[in-house]
Amino acid sequence: MQTFQTLLAKKLSDALAKVGLPDAGEVTPATDRRFGDYQTNAALVLGKQRGENPRALAEKIVARLDVADLCEPPAVAGAGFINFTLRPDAIAKKTSEILRDKRLGVAEAELNQRIVVDFGSPNVAKPMHVGHIRSIVLGDALARIAQFLGHEVIRDNHIGDWGTQFGMVIYGWKNLLDRQSLRCDPLAEIVRIYKETNDRATRDPQVREACRQELVKLQAGDKENIDIWNECVAFSMQDFEQIYEGLGVRYDLQCGESFYNDRLAGVVERLLKSGVAEVSEDAVVVFFRDNPELADKPCIIRKRDGGFNYATTDLATVDYRINDLKADAIWYVVGAPQTLHFKQIFEIARREGYRSDFRHITFGSILGEDRKLMKTRSGENVPLRDLLASAGGPTKPLSAFMLGGYFGVWADATAGLDLRIGAALGARAIYALPARACGLLESARVARYLADESAGQCGPCVHGLDAIATALERLAAGTGGDLRRIERWTRAVDGRGACRHPDGAARFVESALAVFADETERHARGRCTGAHGPLLPMGRR
């Protein structure tokens, strides 16, 4: 299905041919919506090439442009830009066309790839915290989008199931474990013994050395320690799976760091033999002397004591995904603080001759109302399970809320959609919380979050989402909710044609807010149905 942008580009090419000019420039979304929906710089490019007045050229091109079925009469602006404003009936027709198409107008990719999407990746022996939610939701959304486009997707949960912390966990298990507490809440008990062991090790060198010895025994394959480690992993995976099931998220692989242990020495030896790595001060290091960005940031792949680290494991993971899984592309949905790490890993992989498409999809940290990392009152990370429980539990309506809301943040980067469509999806899905468990304040926070993300993109969306948040906050406080603000805003958008956008984004926004206002009003009257689903088909319900 052809988009407005494609259709306008074809009509521009025809007009240029009619006036004896070659194809030039491109049709792009307008940078300022006050001047239309799309624009082209073709006259500017040709004017520079031919030494002619670009505005005069623009007038010639406009005179031969046949776009009456799509746009209002094109306008020449500034030094020679040509602006296109879509006709409301053209938008309505295209929207209907999209809705009749089982793929909603989205064509499958011309070249199908096998894509490994690395997302989630919690550490075992402790519960997931609120910071994991973005990787889980964004990674799942990317996997769904790629699969919808026709790619073969492998969802990989790179579990952190190995490392120095297990020396302390095993010491605590042997010396401090409360079996009754372990039966009641396994992860809470494992976290408790880890913290207490860590405190003791800080004060007592003998405890610190005992923890180190437990780790050495684990790495050497000691049966007792391996059995304890397996129990810790099993408890953690059971907890993780409950959350994933509630969110409707699934994985094809869950290869923890331990899966790659027997490959690490081979990775280091291979890099040394090829000259990619070298020995420096008794450690094995990769230098990037010819890369200005990384020249002063070497990557250690084997420490002085002979131990390996995350970089070694991630290089072994790249080997496995390309050589064993035959991946054409690997997408890492990991927070922005790991940007340098992945730049190093990707550069090393390219030096080894790997030509797969490596992508690091970054995201920021989740902040509390004080704009600092979200913590509990005791200063701990907020457990993800607690967050989900505060919104009525990890339910499928919550999954719709999360995917709808976060889709708005990433839609532009992942699927070429406008942020305002995502804002509409988020607004439409927010009601799932009050409908499910009266999570009014949680819904209000999401509405404000979406408003912040829409800032600078679409004024009407910001105002509407702000109105939603205010109404929810008043409902939660028992002071009533001025739902008329939402209704007035929706009618104003409909009447003015404000926020008009190709492919029906405005209609999405309007219908989203209208449905939300109706559902919120039902809630205020105690008759909330919770019967609606998300606007987009999310696969499993």
In this structure, is residue 277 part of a structural domain?
Answer: yes
Residues 310 and 354 in one domain: yes
In this structure, is residue 383 part of a structural domain?
Answer: no
Residues 273 and 240 in one domain: no
Of the candidate ranges 226-230, 318-322, 456-460, the one whose mean pLDDT is the lowest? 456-460
| pLDDT higher than threshold 70 for residue 395 | no
- Provide, for the chain, the percentages of residues in helix, strand and coil under a 3-state DSSP scheme, each rounded to the nearest 5: 55, 10, 35
So what's the pLDDT on residue 344? 98
Of the candidate ranges 270-274, 343-347, 431-435, 456-460, the one whose mean pLDDT is the lowest? 431-435
In this structure, is residue 180 part of a structural domain?
Answer: yes
Write down which residue in 196, 223, 247 finishes a domain. 247
pLDDT tens for 7-58 read: 999 999 999 999 999 999 999 998 887 888 999 999 999 999 999 999 999 9
In this structure, is residue 119 part of a structural domain?
Answer: no
How many Å apart are CA 398 and CA 116, to the nearest integer? 26
Find the CATH number of the domain harbouring 15.
3.30.1360.70
Work out the pLDDT band at 540, boundaries 50, 70, 90: very low
| pLDDT higher than threshold 60 for residue 95 | yes
Residues 351 and 430 in one domain: no
Strands 81-84 and 75-77: antiparallel
Residues 235 and 274 in one domain: no
Q: Calculate the alpha carbon distances from 444 to 183, 398, 420, 473 in Å.
A: 37, 14, 18, 6
User: Which residues neighbour 516 within 8 Å (Cβ) at sequence distance 6 or greater?
Assistant: 427, 428, 430, 431, 468, 486
Q: Specify burial of residue 338 (Cβ count, 10 A radius: 0-12, 13-18, 19+).
A: middle
In this structure, is residue 124 part of a structural domain?
Answer: no
Angle subtended at Cα 96 by Cα 90 and Cα 98, rounded to the nearest 5 degrees: 100
Domain of 287? 131-157+256-361
Q: Which residues of 433-467 are buried (b: 16+ CB within 10 A; e: fewer)?
A: bbbbbbbbbbbbbbbbbbbebbeebbebbbbbbbb
Q: Is the pTM of this model over 0.85?
A: no
In this structure, is residue 103 part of a structural domain?
Answer: no
Residues 189 and 235 in one domain: yes
Residues 146 and 26 in one domain: no
In this structure, is residue 368 part of a structural domain?
Answer: no
pLDDT tens for 260-307 read: 999 999 999 999 999 999 999 999 999 999 999 999 999 999 999 888
Find the CATH number of the domain harbouring 341.
3.40.50.620
Residues 351 and 398 in one domain: no
How many structural domains compose the chain?
4
Give the three-state DSSP class for 402. Answer: helix
Q: Please indicate whether residue 369 or residue 303 has the higher confidence score (pLDDT).
A: 303
pLDDT tens for 194-215 read: 999 999 999 999 999 999 899 8
Residues 426 and 396 in one domain: yes
Q: How many other β-carbons are positioned within 10 Å of the β-carbon of residue 51? A: 6
Residue written as tokens 């296109």? Answer: 84
So what's the pLDDT on residue 387? 72
Residues 150 and 277 in one domain: yes
In this structure, is residue 438 part of a structural domain?
Answer: yes
Residues 348 and 396 in one domain: no
So what's the pLDDT on residue 75? 95
Residues 239 and 294 in one domain: no
How many Å apart are CA 285 and CA 280, to the nearest integer? 6
Residues 153 and 274 in one domain: yes
How many Å apart are CA 61 and CA 1, to the nearest integer? 26
Q: What percentage of residues in the chain have a pLDDT greater than 90?
A: 52
Q: What percentage of residues in the chain have a pLDDT greater than 70?
A: 70
